[in-house]
Every structure is written in C-alpha cells, then in structure tokens.
Amino acid sequence: TYHSLNECFIHKLYILLVPFFYFLSESERLLDKPWRDIEWTKKYEKLLNEIKRYKPSVSSVKQARILLVGPIGAGKSSFFNSINSVFHEHITSQAVTGTTLESSVTLKFRAYQIEAGQDGEPLPFILCDTMGLEEGPTEGLNIEEIPNILNGHIEDRYQFSPLSPLKDSSASNPEKLEDKIHCVVYVLDVSKMGLIPDELIDKIRAVRKKVNEFGVPQVLLLTKVDQTCPPVEKDIQKVYHSVYLQIKDASARLGIPLLSVFPVKNYTREVELQQNDDILLLSALQKILHFADDYMRDMNDKSECSF
C-alpha cells in the first residue's frame, strides 16, 4: 500500500541521515526549549517518597502488576535492575541481562518484587518480565500467550515455549483484578529505532491489538538515550532538548500517544548511581503507576455496575 511504501522510504531515509547528526554542532542538535518539562531540582527525594507511599487505587489490589514487553536486548531486564538499584541505593543485577546468540536470555515469565532497601518491605508494584519478541512467527514470545499473561493465568517462572503456547483458560478460570496485568510497558532501544525490521514492528502492533482488546493501558519506554545522542550522553538533562532522539517517530510507528512515551537511561555500564538518571527512571515509573491506577478504577467501576 501507499502508506507502507511511504513508511519504508521514511525509515530508509532515517538510516541514511543518522551519521550526519554527528557532524552537527551541539547547539544544532538541541532545542532551545524542552518539548516536555521535567523538574530536576529537588525532584529525586519527592519521587522516591511518593512511590514508596503509593497504594493501588482499588483496595483489593495490593500491588500494581506491570508487564514489560519488547525485542531482545532492548533493556526490559535492565529496566527492572535499574529500578531495583534505585531503591536499594546501589547497582544491582538480579535479573539476567544481555543476549545469547541473538536470542533472548529471558526464557521464563518472571514476576519481580522490589523492596525498599536491603531489608525493607516489598513496594506496592511488581515488574513482570517476558521472553523477548523476535521477527519470526515461531520465534521469541508467542503472541497467543498475551491473553493468559494479562489475565494473570501464568505463574512466576513459567517456561515459555514459542511453538506451544498455553491455551487460554479464562472461561474456566475467572480472573481477579489483583492477579491481572494493570499496565503494559513496551521497551525499545531508541538507538536502533530506525533499524527495527518491519516484521518486528508488525509483531509489536499485533501485541498492542491484543492488549487493546483488554483495555489495559500501554506505555513506551525508550532506552539507551545516552548512547544515541552525544549531548545527552554528557548531560542527561538535555534528553528533552534533543533533536536527534527519534521519540516522536517511535510514538508514530507504534501508535502510542506521545504522553505515554518516556526516554530512560538504564544502568548497564555504571558502578555508581547517578541522581539525574534516577529521576528519569522514577518519573517514568510514577506515570506507569498512574496509568495502572486508571485501569484499576475503570475495571472496579465495571465490576460494581454488573451487580
């Protein structure tokens, strides 16, 4: 179709133009004003305390359940490790990260709890990690697994099998709101945004279509912003000033509103925490929890209306 041909041309043009950004001066790569305002001064403690005090909006739900979905190597497991690091106040690596022979190292469904410090209480949210998405229909996370994951029918450490997904058991096993996924977060490497094959984008869109059927809110995290734009690498506060980061392009390709797109910098190379990196991570997490709350209230209202 004209649309797909036009889209293909745009992304081929993007790939060709990428090297030329490095020849631009720093001022030419940056907007005079950020396209999204973020408070950096005194923001860290405020965000940290608000998230620690967070409680799901529906009393029957003790922990918001957040599902991480994305291609292999995009930074899903690294996002969990990074959030875990912030609350432990040192770099952690509980979730295995990286890739093995270009395939996902996450082969099991993992539901990670995060504690407020070494011996602290579990925080009121769970980050659920999945097998990475791959191009082939029988490779990586099988889209047919999505309904069971969203409905809470897949337990922690469930072994994914791309060729034989678990059959949907929603009819015989009614789900509770507390067991469901309350927000889906897509994780993409922004440095490779223009290089993602159309087949993989189509697969992500197919996942989005499944999630839309359940009415679950969806968020896009764009990782490796520091590896994509040199001024941002020097100063993470320039992230919303960057012309080079293709954030609006990512929003358009996946059909996710810009208000639901958040650039982040995971801890993958550092050995010490950086407060501004933490602020980006915590700001994204705070918005994710807000979206999860909206879904809980909506589902709770529907449940009450059915009686």
Model confidence pLDDT, tens digit, residues 147-184? 999 999 988 988 887 766 776 655 446 579 999 999 99
Q: Mean pLDDT highest for which of 87-101, 218-232, 283-297?
A: 283-297
The percentage of residues in the chain with a pLDDT greater than 90, rounded to a whole number, is: 59
Structure tokens at 292: 């999860």
Q: Quick one: pLDDT band at residue 292, thresholds 50, 70, 90?
A: very high
CATH assignment of the domain containing 189: 3.40.50.300
**Separation of alpha carbons 230 and 220, rounded Å:** 22
Number of domains into which the chain is organized = 1
Pairs from 250-258 (Cβ < 8 Å, separation ≥ 24): 250/188, 250/190, 250/193, 250/220, 250/222, 251/220, 253/7, 253/193, 253/201, 254/186, 254/201, 254/204, 254/205, 254/208, 254/220, 255/205, 255/208, 256/186, 256/208, 256/218, 256/219, 256/220
What pLDDT is attached to residue 61? 96
pTM metric for this prediction: 0.86
Q: Which domain holds residue 120?
A: 2-305
CA distances from 13 to 58, 63, 194, 197, 300 (A): 47, 44, 9, 14, 47
